Structure 1
Amino acid sequence: MAQNRSHAVMAQRTEAQDSRDDFPTPPWATRALCEHILSKIELSSQTCLEPACGRGYMATPLTEYFANVEAADAYHYGFAPVRDFLSYPYETGSHDWVITNPPFRLAEEFVLRALIVARRGVAILARTVFLESSGRHEAIFSRTPPMAFAQFVERVPMVKGRLDRKASTATGYAWLVWDKRYVGPPLLKWVPPCRKALERQSDYSERL
């Protein structure tokens, strides 16, 4: 039988249990959250924790919006301290926001932990299929539903181990946002086409 090498199938990935799940986030996707989903005026006086920062491709653009950004990762990338978010003793409400692109296999645990650490809110970048799963519905969505599910209308290409401006993907991504002040049903939003406006050549400088 011929191997199915369609773009959609080849874009799927399954990481080993001990994988770093190192898929750097294009900086423009983080700016899109701050520009189109959150209130960037309020962010300028708030603090943020990026607990799965890797080489800093998300933490760096966050510094353009927040008063202070703290970053860490469970693995050594040379950008920030090595701290396992799920076990490091962050104090309850120690940061206004926790914003990250968590390892997909640990995303549920990251959300639950982040909701404790964050005073104001949590935002995670995840594959659209994160909405699926009866386990996540029971642990998160039925008890603490997000304020907003913000689907990218453009693709957000991510490549294992590097940032590649020319990469493509068949995988859809969205921001899930929990704002502790919000009262009401979850909102469905779209991140409008914005890559061209928010992408910078300097975003792709090589990082060890």
Structure 2
Amino acid sequence: MTGQNRSSAVMQRRRVAPDSLDYFPTPPFATRALCEFLSRGAPSLPLDDMRVWEPACGELHMARPLAEYFREVRASDVHRYGDHELTDFLFFGGGDVRTDWIITNPPFKLADAFIKTALEIATGGIAMLLRGAFLEGQDRHATLFDRTPPDYVLQFVERVAMLEGRLVRVGQLDPFAEKPGTKVSTATSYCWFVWLGGGLHWRDTRLRWIAPCRHKLERPGDYPDYASPVTDECQSDLIDAIGATA
């Protein structure tokens, strides 16, 4: 009989911020899909010579695949999920901080603020992973899209399943589900919203579809083993691998 695994080893691997920071970890294949588009698609950017900042890094599920493409990755978050830089990204608006790219899955309720701050900082471009519903709204159109439309909206053809505080492969059993035996699925549509910098602006929005790519872009070790305890050493090793500042 299948049931929930509520052992201490499992439960200590789920990281939910105590003040509801809207933490929904990103499946790594979704980040690789963006990087494949930026490096091999229409922009054809030399990512391996660029720096990227992931300012809502959580447990580094996006920072790790970014390190496969970019020369340098900065990983930070406002909440201490692990051994990463502790920084409130929204305080950097209008400052002297600069980076080539800013790529993240921001808290949905703060997405507008993340975009506006990122546009002030990044010189190469920004990319935000957001629900398709972010395209809607009269206020957002007036304050953001009408003034600064994204260069690309990249619509995932297959669904990107994201759960609060944990990362589980779509179709697998969710060890934290209220109903035992529940498999991971989603009815939510996600897109990458991309603004190009460095004189590459199209000044119009182009819609592109990301063809099914999960099986192609998934890698061993992408998803946590919630039956095994997390250790500080594991987090430190990952920080060292991506070159984040502690």
Q: 5+ residue gaps in structure 1?
A: 1-17
Matched, 1:60 2:41: no
1:115 paired to 2:119: yes
- Matched residue, 2:176: none
Match of residue 178 from structure 1: 195
Deviation at 1:88, TM superposition (A): 4.2
Judged with a 3 Å threshold, the aligned counterparts in structure 2 of structure 1 residues 144 and 156 are, in CA distance, closer, same or farther, namely same
Name which one, 1 or 2, has greater alpha-carbon Rg. 2
Query: 2:96 matched to 1:95?
Result: no
Q: Deviations over 1:174-193 (max 9, x none)?
A: 00000022234210101111
User: What CA deviation, in whole Å up to 9, does each residue of 1:108-144 have, x standing for no partner?
Assistant: 0000000001001010000000001112111110001
Residues 140, 93 of structure 1: CA spacing in aligned structure 2 closer, same or farther, 3 A cutoff? farther
Taking the aligned partners of 2:192 and 2:93, their CA distance within structure 1 comes to 26
Contact 1:93 1:116 survives alignment (8 Å): no
Asked if structure 1 preserves the Cα contact closer than 8 Å seen for 2:93 and 2:121, the reply is no
| Alpha-carbon shift at residue 89 of structure 1 (Å) | 6.8
8 Å CA contact retained: 1:37, 1:191: no
CA RMSD of aligned residues (A): 1.7
What 5-or-longer segments of structure 2 have no aligned partner? 1-18, 173-183, 232-246
Question: What secondary structure, in the 3-state scheme, does the structure 2 residue paired with 1:158 have?
Answer: coil
The equivalent of 2:236 in structure 1 is none
Q: What CA distance in whole angstroms lies between the structure 1 residues aligned with 2:118 and 2:45?
A: 22
Q: Is the 8 A contact 2:153 2:208 kept in 1?
A: yes
Distance in 1, matches of 2:221 and 2:94, equals 32
Deviations 1:136-165 (A, max 9, x none): 111110001000001000000001110011
Q: Deviations over 1:68-109 (max 9, x none)?
A: 010100100114111111014784461000000000000000
Tell me, in whole angstroms, the C-alpha distance in 2 between the residues paired with 1:104 and 1:156. Answer: 15
- The answer for the alignment partner of 2:181 in structure 1 is none
The runs of 4+ residues in structure 1 deviating greater than 2 Å are: 36-41, 88-93, 205-208
Please say if 1:169 is aligned against 2:186. Answer: yes
- Corresponding residue for residue 198 of structure 1: 217
Percent identity reads 49
CA contact (8 A) 1:157 1:169 kept: yes
| AA at the equivalent of 1:62 | L
Residue identity opposite 1:174 in structure 2: C
Q: Which amino acid in 2 is paired with 1:183?
A: W
SS in 2 for 1:126: strand
Aligned residue runs from structure 1 range 1-208, under 5 A? 18-39=19-40, 42-88=46-92, 91-92=95-96, 94-165=98-169, 166=172, 167-180=184-197, 181-206=200-225
Tell me the residue number matched to 1:12.
none
Residues 163, 146 of structure 1: CA spacing in aligned structure 2 closer, same or farther, 3 A cutoff? Answer: same
Taking structure 2 as the reference length, the TM-score comes to 0.74
Deviates more, 1:109-118 or 1:195-204: 195-204
